[in-house]
Amino acid sequence: MTDWTQQTQQARTWFESLRDRICAEFEAIEREAGSDAAFDYIAWDRDTDVDQAEAGSHGGGGVRGVMKGKVFEKVGVNVSTVEGKFSPQFAAQVNGASEELPEFTATGISLVAHMANPHVPAVHMNCRFLTTQAAWFGGGADLNPPIPYEDDTADFHAELRGACAAHNPTYYDRFSKWAEEYFYIPHRGVHRGVGGIFYDHLECENETDFERHFAFTRDVGEAFLSAFPKIVRRRMEAGWTEADKATQLEWRGRYAEFNLVYDRGTLFGLKTGGNIDAILMSLPPEATWS
Give the active site residues: 124
Helices 150-165 and 171-182 cross at an angle (nearest 10°) of 130
Burial of 121 (0-12, 13-18, 19+ CB in 10 A): buried
> How far is Cα 78 from Cα 65, in angstroms, rounded to an integer?
6
Q: Are 124 and 142 in contact (CB under 8 A)?
A: yes
Pairing label, strands 190-191, 195-203? unpaired
- DSSP assignment letter at 188: T
> How far is Cα 33 from Cα 35, in angstroms, rounded to an integer?
6
> How far is Cα 199 from Cα 13, in angstroms, rounded to an integer?
21
